[in-house]
Amino acid sequence: MKMCEMNPSIRPYERLEEFGAESLSDEELLSIMVRSGTKGKSAREIASELLSQSSFRNGLCGLSQITLEELSGLQGIGRVKAIMLKACVEIGRRCCLNGNMMDKVQFFSTDTAKSYFEAKMSFLESEEVHVVLLDSKKRLIAHELVSKGGLNQIGFISKEVFRTAVRVNAAGLILAHNHPSGDPVPSSEDVETTKDLVSSGMMIGIEVLDHIVVGRGRTISMRDEGYFSFEQEETR
């Protein structure tokens, strides 16, 4: 059934007008972006098939994980619709980054840190290590991309993190990295890396406040989760 043949009460366009965008399902929102169907398939059916793809196991976040080439090759999508869909994803990403003036935030709580890094890193397709450098009032001084490819070069990462921290006269820092697999549970290497960073920070007087691990739809604060005590590490 074509969209125009549906009862108005269940058409995504009319439902959005009457009830607001927040009331629509992922499938309904995606069908609006798809706009038109193809022979034998409505826009809503195409949207449903899109969401059934393995890349979409976390809902609409799958749009950030599927490449433009893969998207344009799907039946009922094609080049133009694929470009429009990727543009919509990028608009949403930029809104998350800038809409709440996150760069002016003070990191008074782990919830703030999780929200900040979630907005910046949850759409990344490969693993990256980031750090925010803070003044004595936990205000942001700088946000740095430390490395791409994970935490497997702890000596290099530690040197780069603290070189920048000293240069900008930071009093503390929060480390973060993402798990593109979606599972934010820290590995044993993540825990050991954080302990090493805390120890290095102690030696030069820069406090490592937390290590945030960003997954898909879930983010972990290693401090809150109790993987080890930052306070004990600092006084050891």
Residues of the chain where predicted confidence (pLDDT) is lower than 50: 101-102, 232-236
Surface-to-core class of residue 121, CB atoms within 10 Å of its CB (0-12 exposed, 13-18 middle, 19+ buried): buried
- pLDDT of 48 reads 85
Alpha helices in 54-167 (DSSP H): 62-65, 68-72, 78-98, 110-121, 154-167
C-alpha pair distances (Å), 235 with each of 138, 159, 202? 21, 22, 9
Per-residue pLDDT, 152: 61
Strands (E) located in the chain: 128-134, 140-148, 172-178, 207-214, 219-221
The rounded distance, in Å, linking the Cα atoms of 48 and 33 is: 12
pLDDT of residue 56: 59
Instruction: Please count the other Cβ atoms lying within 10 Å of the Cβ belonging to residue 99.
Output: 10
List the beta bridge partners of residue 156. Answer: none
Output the pLDDT for position 170: 93
Q: Name the CATH superfamily, with its identifier, for domain 102-235.
A: Cytidine Deaminase, domain 2 (3.40.140.10)
| 29 close to 21: Cβ distance less than 8 angstroms | yes
List, for residues 150-176, the tens digit of each pLDDT value.
Answer: 666 555 667 878 888 988 899 999 999
The first and second tokens of residue 78, run together, are 């094609």
Every domain of the chain and the residues it spans: 3-98, 102-235
pTM, full prediction: 0.59
Instruction: Quote the pLDDT of residue 236.
Output: 38
The predicted structure's pLDDT at residue 175 = 93
| Res 135: pLDDT | 92
| C-alpha span between 198 and 74 (Å, rounded) | 47
